[in-house]
Amino acid sequence: MEKYARTSKCNLFSAALLALTLGMASCNLNDGKGQAAKESQEMKIESVTWEEKPSAEGCKISASFPADTTMAVSRNVWEWINEELGGSYDGYLFDGEKLAEHYGTLHAEQFKRAIEELGPNTAMDHCAYYAQFKKVFETCKLVTFTAETYEYAGGAHGGESLEGCVFRKSDGRRFGWEMFTAEGKEKLRDIIKERLKKFYFKTGSDEEFYAMLLDENASYSFPLPETAPICRANGMQFIYQQYEIAPYAAGIPTCTVPYTELKGLFTTTVEPLIESTTDSLAMKYNPTVVQ
């Protein structure tokens, strides 16, 4: 009888342990399905704007953040925005208003101190700083955010910049130039050069094109942009900042190359992401035909 009782207890314990294990496995499976479902859906965005009160100093920061902070990619996007603005904000990361206020106030105070030191009748009395962050493209596997800034602190003109970052939605990993193989990056030099020559600078010959550039060695080895390339709806965008390859008057030279023309240049890690640029979520961005 005692042996039977012990056996029954053991069976009950084994059954309970099995049920707990199956339950945990089911939860993990459901969690995995839940994350996958989130990734396949469009990323919801919340936007905040901080603006300095009307004064001699113009300062405005607008940012769009991932609304769902439980996804791994969300934290990476928030951290990227924080770092793009300077990386000095150490408050609660997911408070967009506090983050924007921190950097807006920082720039406004810097301008005020400079004006006080130099006096009001200087070129700095109309100084300005503007920054805008926004989501520009998304598929079921990746999302692209851009950062546009303008700053004027006296002198003949201000300075603009445009850059961005590609994030893998499953784990939030950031991608830049490592999206391309070493051989792929070398082939890109000619591809980008031809695109810029034809569609941005609108020149008919290499000689005329090189004459517009600052780099005398560009004809021997055309430089790749220092800024990381980003995924857009109609292809991969390559961005050169002001003065990087051409005079200020040339602005920010950019070109967009269709993904079909870049086939074989991506790493095996990135190929699945690029394949997703034709999925149903990507099509919501109504890609235009690239010439």
Confidence of residue 110 (pLDDT cuts 50, 70, 90): confident
How far apart are alpha carbons 108 and 90 in whole angstroms? 19
Cβ of 112: how many Cβ atoms within 10 Å? Answer: 16
Give pLDDT tens digits for 153-204: 777 788 999 999 999 999 999 999 999 999 999 999 999 999 999 999 999 8
Confidence of residue 16 (pLDDT cuts 50, 70, 90): very low
pTM, entire model? 0.84
pLDDT score at 256: 97
| 225-241 average pLDDT score | 97
Please report where in the chains the tokens 């394949």 appear, as a residue: 275
Beta strands in the chain (DSSP E): 45-51, 58-66, 128-138, 142-152, 159-168, 174-175, 230-232, 235-239, 254-257
- Please say if the pLDDT value at position 6 is more than 60: no
How far apart are alpha carbons 15 and 22 in whole angstroms? 10
For 15, the token pair is: 């059954």
What integer best gives the mean pLDDT of the chain? 86
In the chain, the domains with their CATH numbers are: 45-175 (3.30.565.40), 177-285 (3.90.640.20)
Following DSSP, what letter does each residue of 39-82 receive, concatenated? HHSPPPEEEEEEEPPSSSSEEEEEEEEES-TTSHHHHHHHHHHH
Following DSSP, what letter does each residue of 92-119 receive, concatenated? -TT-HHHHHHHHHHHHHHHHHHHHHHH-
Asked whether the beta carbons of 50 and 97 are under 8 A apart, the reply is yes
Helix (H, G, I), strand (E, B) or coil at 211: helix
| 7-25 average pLDDT score | 49
- Please say if the pLDDT value at position 208 is more than 90: yes
| 118-132 average pLDDT score | 71
Of all residues in the chain, the percent with pLDDT exceeding 90 is 68
pLDDT score at 58: 80
Our CA dihedral for 30, 80, 83, 188, rounded to 10 degrees, sits at 140
Interior CA angle at 274 toward 268 and 279, to 5°?
135
